[in-house]
Amino acid sequence: MANRLFRQARQFVELAKETAAKGTDEEKTETIQKAKNALSSAYANSTLAEKVQLREMQDELGKLE
C-alpha cells in the first residue's frame, strides 16, 4: 500500500496537469507549486520504487512549466 504522502503527491501532479491544460496561468503556477511541495514531502518517507515514480512525476511537472 502506498503511503499517504505519496498518494497526495500523485493527486497534486494530476491536478497540475489538468490545470495546465484548462486553467489560467495563475492557477497553473499555484497548482504546480503545490505539487512540487507535495513531491518534496513525499520523497523523504518513500520506498526506492516510490522515489523512482516521484522523480518521474517531477519530470512531468518540469514539462508543464
Higher model confidence: residue 29 or residue 65?
A: 29
- pLDDT tens digits, residue range 32-41? 999 999 999 9
Residue 1, pLDDT above cutoff 50: no
- pLDDT tens digits, residue range 52-62? 999 999 999 99
Could you tell me if 15 and 35 are in contact, meaning their C-beta atoms sit under 8 angstroms apart? yes
Please give the DSSP secondary-structure letter assigned to residue 49. H
Residue 19, pLDDT above cutoff 90: yes
In angstroms, the CA 32 to CA 16 distance is: 5
pLDDT band at 45; cut points 50, 70, 90: confident
